[in-house]
């Protein structure tokens, strides 16, 4: 049985612990600088508790290190786990910049360890179906990607958020926290663009990105248009609940639209997929049971660790999102189209 050590027992760890417990997996260590948080979160697992994640990584009782703490520690924890030949599950975004992500990806590959990045929205059945239906679109010529989340009104000083706190934990705001999932979905369904032309809007006098717009330019002339925003609109989106996130892809044989749902309310909603077939001139709506994508993701990663199967989203996928994000900010800063530097990390 694979034994897990979890670093970081804050918000997102709730979903990882739920999935690990559901699976009946062994959680042997939990680390958090707030030991009480680690104790509470891991209750019932029998995990040892520590404030020092080095102790967890060094323990012979841990086979896989699960990194769920602030972005700033992802690299150190990942490199140390890899150096000890341990498997890694790392929350997104994988690293705080693309050079670090490339370094970690190379280290994982050289050590031959399995490394997964937690882009759990790929595990919505609707997303898996979308991947399967890609080949039915014919020649893909355009796409639109949106990630709008109701964080509040960031066009007034009364937003009530600790902007520095967000930047401290996540290393960025709307692009990293919200849109990174749809950037991963774009890469998953459409592959890697050659260049990016972007505009990023920050909350005044801060590095808190509240809105970003970009064109992803592909080798064959295909262009995906992307936008993300923190917004105050309460009843927009396919479920009229403020969550407005989708990817729409147009091909010569049809159009597909995948609308995702609030990731932390998975028990209430299911992602929706529609497919328009140009031959029959009909649209099919694919409806699925609501499910928790974290449960599916962790069950799949566990299967990979048990069998040695090289699955995804892995270190290359985590790196690719980090590279795309970096290029969005670079393009916005330089106000021109910038080629994405894939740093020799292949698909
Ligand atoms: N997949 C998703 O949809 C999703 C959603 C939210 C957050 N995340 C990611 O999960 C990670 C954590 O985010 P969160 O929202 O849970 O943040 P959080 O602030 O709620 O939790 C982070 C935890 O890490 C602990 N921590 C900080 N430094 C530490 C250290 N040196 N050693 C051990 N523990 C330490 C903190 O005490 C805290 O309990 C981030 O990388 C974030 O981007 C992913």
- CA pair distance 156, 134, nearest whole angstrom: 42
Q: 96 with 75: CB under 8 angstroms?
A: yes
The reported pLDDT for the residue numbered 264 is 80
Please report, to the nearest 10 degrees, the dihedral formed by the alpha carbons of residues 301, 303, 307, 313 taken in order.
Answer: -30
Mean residue pLDDT of the chain comes to 97
pLDDT band, residue 69 (cuts 50/70/90): very high
- Which H or E element spans position 317? helix 315-334
Q: Are strands 195-202 and 338-339 parallel, antiparallel or unpaired?
A: antiparallel
- CA pair distance 23, 40, nearest whole angstrom: 19
Residues 6+ apart with CB under 8 A from 239: 261, 269
- 146 Cβ inside 6 Å of ligand 1: no
For the stretch 181-240, pLDDT in tens is 999 999 999 999 999 999 999 999 999 999 999 999 999 999 999 999 999 999 999 999
- In this structure, what token pair is assigned to residue 262? 């609030």
- Between the CA of 279 and the centroid of ligand 1 the distance, in Å, is 47
- In this structure, what token pair is assigned to residue 131? 């991947």
C-alpha torsion sign, points 204, 209, 213, 219: positive
Residue appearing with tokens 């239906």: 133
- CA pair distance 17, 288, nearest whole angstrom: 24
- 69 Cβ inside 6 Å of ligand 1: yes
Beta strands in 53-177, from DSSP E residues, in sequence order = 64-67, 87-91, 115-118, 140-149
Q: 17 with 42: CB under 8 angstroms?
A: yes
Backbone conformation region of residue 136, classed left if phi is above 0, alpha if psi is from -120 to 50, else beta: alpha
- 78 Cβ inside 6 Å of ligand 1: no
pLDDT band, residue 266 (cuts 50/70/90): low
Does domain 3-120+294-312 fall into CATH 3.40.50.720?
yes
pLDDT > 90: what percent of the chain?
Answer: 96
pLDDT > 70: what percent of the chain?
Answer: 99
What's the average model confidence in pLDDT over 64-88?
Answer: 98
pLDDT at residue 269 above 90? no
Backbone angles phi, psi at 27, to 5 degrees: -105, 110
What's the average model confidence in pLDDT over 289-293?
Answer: 91
What's the average model confidence in pLDDT over 165-177?
Answer: 96
Backbone angles phi, psi at 271, to 5 degrees: -65, 155
pLDDT at residue 267 above 80? no
Q: What is the largest CA-CA distance in the chain?
A: 61
For the stretch 30-66, pLDDT in tens is 999 999 999 999 999 999 999 999 999 999 999 999 9
The one-character DSSP state at 314 is B
- In this structure, what token pair is assigned to residue 218? 């592909």
Lateral strand order in the sheet of 140-149: 282-287, 272-277, 254-259, 244-251, 140-149, 223-230, 209-217, 195-202, 338-339
Q: 327 with 341: CB under 8 angstroms?
A: yes
- 11 Cβ inside 6 Å of ligand 1: yes
pLDDT band, residue 253 (cuts 50/70/90): very high
For the stretch 5-35, pLDDT in tens is 999 999 999 999 999 999 999 999 999 999 9
pLDDT at residue 284 above 80? yes
Q: 227 with 213: CB under 8 angstroms?
A: yes
CATH architecture of 122-290+325-339: 2-Layer Sandwich (3.30)
- CA pair distance 78, 89, nearest whole angstrom: 9
Residues 6+ apart with CB under 8 A from 320: 184, 187, 192, 342, 345, 347
- 296 Cβ inside 6 Å of ligand 1: no
Closest by CA to 148, choosing from 213, 97, 196, 71, is: 213
Boundaries of every domain in the chain: 3-120+294-312, 122-290+325-339
Residue nearest to atom 33 of ligand 1 (CA): 32
Residue 331: C-alpha distances to residues 58, 187, 195 (Å):
41, 18, 9
- Between the CA of 118 and the centroid of ligand 1 the distance, in Å, is 13
Q: Are strands 87-91 and 209-217 parallel, antiparallel or unpaired?
A: unpaired
Ligand 1 atom closest to the Cα of residue 170 is 43
Residue nearest to atom 21 of ligand 1 (CA): 10
pTM assigned to the model: 0.98
């Amino acid at each position: 049985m694979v034994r897990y050590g979890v670093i970081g027992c804050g918000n997102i760890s709730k979903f990882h612990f739920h999935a690990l417990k559901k699976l009946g997996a062994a959680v042997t260590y939990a680390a958090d600088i707030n030991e009480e948080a680690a104790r509470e979160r891991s209750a019932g697992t029998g995990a040892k508790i520590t404030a020092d994640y080095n102790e967890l990584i060094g323990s012979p009782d841990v086979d896989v290190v699960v990194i769920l703490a602030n972005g700033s520690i992802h690299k150190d924890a990942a490199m140390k786990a890899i150096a000890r030949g341990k498997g890694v599950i790392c929350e997104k975004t994988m690293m705080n910049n693309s050079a670090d992500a490339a370094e970690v990806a190379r280290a994982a590959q050289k050590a031959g360890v399995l490394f997964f990045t937690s882009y759990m929205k790929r595990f919505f059945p609707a997303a898996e179906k979308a991947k399967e239906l890609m080949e039915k679109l014919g020649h893909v010529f355009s796409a639109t990607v949106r990630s709008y989340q109701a964080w509040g009104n960031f066009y007034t000083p009364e937003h009530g958020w600790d902007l520095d706190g967000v930047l401290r934990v996540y290393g960025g705001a709307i692009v990293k926290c919200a849109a990174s999932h749809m950037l991963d979905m774009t890469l998953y369904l459409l592959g890697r663009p050659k260049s990016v032309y972007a505009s990023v809007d920050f909350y005044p006098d801060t590095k808190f990105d509240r809105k970003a717009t970009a064109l992803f330019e592909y080798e064959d002339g295909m262009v995906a248009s992307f936008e993300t925003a923190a917004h105050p609109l309460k009843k927009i989106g396919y479920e009229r609940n403020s969550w407005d996130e989708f990817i729409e892809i147009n091909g010569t044989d049809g159009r597909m639209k995948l609308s995702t749902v609030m990731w932390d309310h998975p028990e209430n909603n299911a992602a929706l997929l529609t497919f328009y077939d140009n031959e029959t001139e009909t649209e099919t709506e694919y409806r699925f049971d609501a499910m928790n994508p974290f449960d599916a993701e962790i069950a799949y990663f566990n299967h990979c660790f048990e069998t040695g199967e090289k699955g995804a989203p892995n270190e290359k996928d985590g790196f690719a999102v980090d590279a795309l994000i970096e290029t969005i900010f670079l393009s916005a800063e330089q106000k021109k189209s910038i080629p994405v530097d894939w740093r020799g990390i292949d698909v």
